[in-house]
């Protein structure tokens, strides 16, 4: 049995966020940063002050530490990883590398986060055929997506965890096989997966997938720490949206080749072809410090999964004990606990009002449409979670 960390002892490392005194059920959105994150930001300033424009060698070492952290989370020691400030930035570069003239069709779900949803909607307005499959029920979502793939499809974009409901999407391995047969790129948004549930690409059959994610939520890395895991078969893709960092290193084609049919714009190989340009390296300093902290505290994917299952289970049981009418507040009680990721999604026509009622009672949570989301985190004690649910009961009674 996995030994879970003591949340009270862990909370001592988050003194500036005062997690021991606050009811921060924002674990699915913005987790608190450990104190070492601030030390990382200060180090970024000090390196700039010391080295000025030659700071980049130090900054690139921090970027490589972030890539190493991503590789560990994906269970893939040699994963080829591009970094970016946002998943949207990386998704746009990826989409711009696809031949949407030869394959003018994209497949996705109506449960994708806004960074993908809005961009795909806009591409649809511009003439790309975008097929949107209902995300519910999640049990056969992968099969329904697979049924939409054909030789005109450039890519299928799907989350491994639905951001409104916390449902883990089963069957992505079968979707990956169908995508490979049709030459379709499978793009998996794992933002709500990493840091709360293990995701080993080999074990889940996703070695051929593009994987998007970031550190703003469960990983506690803060803004500016997003990544794109690039599959091996992507060699030779040339993003139309490109930054000058993508011409560093071993270039393809060889820029000394002046034959008439050689493209003038050369790209680095692998994930480096999806690089951007000059950026604020402070985010990577902060992330490197937090990744080291997680390692020191033994916050591995299996441990974090154990914490999540315990905390989400405690919240769910406490909500059930409120015995609220289902037309006020209910939840999915059919899916087993293992079918959810890191937060508890409660369905209510009053979700926004309940979120405001919680805020008035000192509980930080949020809502998305009819879904009220309660996101625990490893530094929260059980009594804090129970206090938050008690506040939810008060907010529900105050609705009428």
The CATH T-level fold of domain 7-32+300-397 is 3.90.1150
The whole-number pLDDT of residue 165 equals 98
In percent, the amount of the chain with pLDDT more than 90 equals 94
Q: What is the 3-state secondary structure (H, E, C) of 311-353?
A: HHHHHHHHHHHHCCCCCCCECCCCCCHHHECCCEEEECCCHHH
The whole-number pLDDT of residue 109 equals 98
Q: CATH number of the domain at 39-291, out of 1.10.3430.10, 3.30.565.10, 3.40.640.10, 1.10.600.10? A: 3.40.640.10
Task: Name the token pair of 6.
Answer: 């003591």
Q: Distance from first CA to last CA of the chain, Å, rounded?
A: 45
Quick check: 103 pLDDT over 70? yes
Long-range contacts of 167-171 (CB under 8 A, 24+ apart): 167/138, 167/332, 167/335, 167/339, 167/340, 167/341, 168/138, 168/193, 168/197, 168/338, 168/339, 168/340, 168/341, 169/138, 169/141, 169/142, 170/138, 170/139, 170/142, 170/339, 171/140, 171/141, 171/142, 171/143
The whole-number pLDDT of residue 264 equals 81
Quick check: 196 pLDDT over 80? yes
The whole-number pLDDT of residue 2 equals 72
pLDDT band at 237 (very low <50, low <70, confident <90, very high): very high
Task: Name the token pair of 333.
Answer: 């009680």
Average pLDDT rounded to a whole number, residues 1-23: 94
Token pair 């139309």 is found at: 240
Average pLDDT rounded to a whole number, residues 349-374: 98
**Interhelix angle 301-322/382-397, nearest 10 degrees:** 30
The whole-number pLDDT of residue 192 equals 98
CA distances from 84 to 57, 192, 226, 245 (A): 18, 17, 5, 12
In the chain, the DSSP E strands lie at 23-24, 80-84, 105-109, 129-133, 153-159, 185-189, 210-214, 226-230, 251-252, 267-268, 344-347, 363-364, 366-368, 371-374
Average pLDDT rounded to a whole number, residues 119-138: 98
Q: Is the Cβ–Cβ distance between 354 and 392 less than 8 Å?
A: yes
DSSP assignment string, 93-121: HHHHTS-TTTS-EEEEETT--HHHHHHHH
The whole-number pLDDT of residue 94 equals 98
For the chain, domain boundaries: 7-32+300-397, 39-291
Nearest-angstrom CA–CA distance, 326 and 113: 27
The whole-number pLDDT of residue 112 equals 98
- pLDDT tens by residue, 31-44: 999 999 999 999 99
- pLDDT tens by residue, 65-81: 999 999 999 999 999 99
Average pLDDT rounded to a whole number, residues 89-97: 98
- pLDDT tens by residue, 160-191: 999 999 999 999 999 999 999 999 999 999 99
Prediction pTM value:
0.95
The whole-number pLDDT of residue 260 equals 55
Quick check: 251 pLDDT over 70? no
Average pLDDT value for the chain: 96
The whole-number pLDDT of residue 1 equals 61
């Amino acid at each position: 049995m996995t030994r879970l960390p003591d949340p009270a002892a862990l909370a001592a490392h988050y003194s500036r966020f005062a997690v021991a005194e606050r009811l921060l059920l924002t674990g699915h959105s913005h987790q608190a940063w450990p104190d070492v994150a601030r030390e990382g930001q200060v180090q970024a300033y000090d390196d700039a002050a010391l080295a000025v424009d030659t700071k980049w060698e130090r900054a690139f070492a921090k970027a490589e530490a972030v890539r190493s952290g991503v590789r560990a989370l994906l269970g893939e020691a040699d994963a080829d990883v591009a970094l970016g400030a946002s998943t949207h930035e990386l998704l746009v570069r990826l989409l711009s590398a696809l031949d949407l003239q030869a394959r003018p069709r994209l497949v996705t779900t109506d449960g994708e986060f806004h960074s993908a949803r809005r961009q795909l909607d806009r591409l649809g307005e511009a003439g790309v055929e975008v097929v949107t499959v209902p995300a519910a029920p999640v049990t056969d979502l992968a099969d329904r997506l697979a049924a939409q793939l054909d030789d005109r499809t450039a890519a299928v974009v799907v989350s491994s965890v639905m951001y409104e409901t916390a449902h883990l999407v089963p069957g992505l391995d079968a979707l990956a096989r169908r995508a490979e047969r049709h030459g379709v790129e499978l793009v998996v948004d794992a933002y709500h997966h990493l840091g709360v549930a293990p995701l080993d690409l080999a074990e889940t059959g996703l070695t051929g997938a593009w994987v998007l994610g970031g550190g703003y939520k469960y990983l506690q890395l803060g803004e500016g720490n997003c990544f794109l895991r690039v599959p091996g078969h992507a060699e030779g893709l040339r993003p139309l949206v490109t930054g000058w960092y993508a011409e560093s290193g071993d270039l393809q084609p060889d820029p000394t080749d002046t034959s008439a049919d050689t493209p003038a714009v050369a790209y680095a190989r692998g994930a480096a072809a999806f690089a951007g340009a000059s950026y604020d390296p402070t985010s990577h300093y902060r992330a490197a410090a937090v990744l080291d902290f997680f390692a020191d505290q033994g916050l591995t994917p299996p441990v974090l999964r154990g914490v999540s299952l315990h905390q989400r289970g405690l919240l769910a049981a406490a909500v059930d004990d409120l015995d609220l009418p289902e037309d006020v507040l209910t939840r999915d009680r059919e899916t087993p606990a293992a079918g959810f990721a890191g937060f508890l999604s409660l369905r209510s026509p009053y979700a926004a009002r309940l979120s405001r009622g919680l805020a008035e009672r000192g509980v930080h949570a949020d809502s998305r449409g009819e879904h009220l989301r309660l996101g625990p985190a490893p530094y929260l004690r059980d009594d804090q979670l129970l206090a938050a649910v008690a506040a939810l009961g008060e907010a529900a009674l105050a609705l009428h």
